Each structure stands twice: as C-alpha cells, then as structure tokens.
Homo-oligomer: A and B are copies of this chain.
C-alpha cells in the first residue's frame, strides 16, 4: 500500500508542512525508518533525533524549522502514528473455514465465514460469530459464545458458558472462566464452593498472554468495553472492570472488587477483595491496595498514599538510619541539658 502524505493527513486530521505529495509506504521508528517510511516524534524530546532519520516524512507535535523533511503536525503524534501504522499493516480478513483437523461438536454453531485453524476444540452448543479467527489449540467450552471479528490466539481456554463480545483479542495461553477460588474451612479441611457463574467480556477488549480470569461464584465476572490487559494478570471471581481500563502485567485483582472506568493499574499491583476503585484512578506499580480508592486520584505504595506523599515518605524512608542516629544524639543532648539543670538546682 502506498499513500501520499496529504491523504494520511486527511485521515488522522493533521496539517502538512512541506511536500504533501511525497509517497509513503510504511511507518517506522526514527532509527529504523527507511526511505518511503514516515516516522514520528511522540514528544518534543525526540525532535532533535529527526535529523539523523532516513524517513521520508515525520509526524511531529509542533512546527519545527531545522529539519528538511515534510512534516505532519498533529496534537498527538503517537496516536496519529498508531492509526497510520494500523492502516499500513491491516490485513484484509479472508475466511479460512474450519480446518479438517479441528474438532467441532455437531451441536456447535460456527459462522460460515469464521477461520478455525488445525487442532481447535469447539464444545457442544458453542457459538462462533462471523469473521472470528481461532488459532491452533484453542479450547472453546460447551455453550460458550464468541462475538464477531474476535481473534483468539493459540492455547487459549474458554470454559463453558463464557461470553466474549465483538472485536475481542485474546493472546496465547489465557484462561477465561476457570473456577473462582472459593473454599470454606470445615475444621482444617477446605470445602469447595461450586462456582456456577460465568465470565463475560464485552466488545473491544484485548487480553494479553497467560492471563487468568475466573468465573463468578454466582452471576458473572465482568470486563466492560475497551479494557486492555497486559500478560499474566489474575482476575478473581465476580470482579468488575469498568470501560477502557488498563491493567498492566502481573496485576492481581481479588474476588468481587470493582473498578470504575478508565482506571490504570501499573505492573504487579495487588488489590484485596470486595473493594471499589473509582473512575480515572491510577495506581502505581507494585502497590498493595487494601481499601476503596475514590475517583480521580493517583496513588502508590503499600499501604497506598497519594502519589506526591508517597514520594516524600519514600525519601525519608531511605534515610531512616540517619533519623535513628539523630534521635539518639538529640536524646543525649537533652539529657545533658536536664543534668545541668539538676546540678544548678542542687547548687542553689
């Protein structure tokens, strides 16, 4: 595919400075770009690097004067780059049908224009929508439903009755709908609480590799529209995650906890069960969250603190041995003062 800079500008809504007729055939990073590529400086910081690029054009956040490249000026260069890269790399969907080596239950309903790769197992009464792509070694349990245009990579397990929306992407090894971790002590024995609910994933969700989203005890574990998960994330039973939230790698969310919309959890964060995280909350990496977090905040740490306070605490924390020494010294000085005072008294 080849596009003029002008036509790309129309697509992403930017302004061209220089030759808009230059022909672009791909997008690459500043260093890796070749002739014919467009590159991008996501922030001002990267603008100086543009001098060394071999790219034929650049997406930038502001007008710049000392570069001879044709420029595409946009508010958010990274967003424009993402859209242009998607345009260049998008493959038209070609229905592949059902591989002869797949196992599909006679009672499953598989759309005629789905693509079912070799060694896929589709259970009784499962439903596979139009233009769904299912890669090798995917197990779709009985009565599960997969929405249109969804892509499921190898080794994903969808347990029975779970529901996936449209345009969902699930990377390799992820497990949707295993039993929630519910046990109750009977003396020392652990008696299992049957997990009879499901997992429901709404439209446009993307889930990384080797994640685990457990089915609900009753009702459903719910991931709302547009949520994006990194890899190795753990989602407990009956969790709810609000629209467009971002869950970074190795996060763990315990049972029945609810996230608002547009929440960001950085890597390795842990949330206890039965708490609520408000809309637009950002939680810093490795934080351990043990109680509700109201909306519109940035918090960090275990226990968590407002972001700025955490930085102050951490700065003092690393100087604790000095504080200890200062305190000891001060105690001695006070004792000396007290002793003098006592001596004076005696002298009087």
| Residue in B290, B303, B324 whose CB lies within 8 Å of A323 | B324
Does residue A291 face the partner (Cβ distance < 8 Å to B)? no
Does residue A340 face the partner (Cβ distance < 8 Å to B)? yes
* A280–B234 alpha-carbon span in the complex (Å): 26
Residues of B within 8 A of A337 (CB): 334, 337-338, 341
* A139–B101 alpha-carbon span in the complex (Å): 14
* A281–B31 alpha-carbon span in the complex (Å): 28
**Chain A interface, number of residues (Cβ within 8 angstroms):** 109
CB A98 to nearest CB in B, in angstroms, measures: 14
* A228–B179 alpha-carbon span in the complex (Å): 12
* A250–B234 alpha-carbon span in the complex (Å): 8
B228, A183: Cβ atoms under 8 Å?
Answer: yes
Residues of B within 8 A of A29 (CB): 217-219
| Residue in B173, B178, B212, B218 whose CB lies within 8 Å of A28 | B218
Binary B-proximity of A243-274 (CB < 8 A = 1, otherwise 0): 11010111010100000011000011010100
CB A31 to nearest CB in B, in angstroms, measures: 8
Binary B-proximity of A174-191 (CB < 8 A = 1, otherwise 0): 010011011111101111
* A327–B270 alpha-carbon span in the complex (Å): 34
Closest B residue, CB atoms, query A39: B218
A231-B214, A316-B323, A317-B320 known; A196+B270 contact, CB < 8 A: no
* A300–B158 alpha-carbon span in the complex (Å): 36
Does residue A278 face the partner (Cβ distance < 8 Å to B)? no
Residues of B within 8 A of A101 (CB): 103
B316, A261: Cβ atoms under 8 Å?
Answer: no
B154, A136: Cβ atoms under 8 Å?
Answer: no
B326, A316: Cβ atoms under 8 Å?
Answer: no
Residues of B within 8 A of A189 (CB): 226, 244
* A159–B196 alpha-carbon span in the complex (Å): 31
A324, B333: Cβ atoms under 8 Å?
Answer: no
| Residue in B79, B181, B210, B285 whose CB lies within 8 Å of A270 | B285
9 nearest interchain CB pairs? A157-B172, A316-B320, A212-B231, A139-B154, A175-B209, A121-B136, A103-B118, A178-B209, A171-B178
Question: Can you list 22 A-B contacts with CB-CB less than 8 angstroms, sorted by A residue number?
Answer: A82-B184, A82-B194, A85-B196, A103-B136, A121-B136, A171-B179, A179-B208, A188-B243, A190-B244, A209-B214, A231-B234, A232-B234, A234-B267, A250-B252, A254-B267, A268-B270, A286-B288, A303-B318, A309-B321, A323-B327, A330-B331, A340-B341
Given contacts A139-B155, A254-B267, A320-B320, 17 further A-B contacts (CB under 8 A): A29-B217, A29-B218, A85-B194, A117-B121, A121-B154, A155-B173, A157-B209, A173-B212, A181-B230, A190-B244, A192-B228, A210-B210, A212-B231, A230-B234, A316-B323, A317-B317, A327-B327
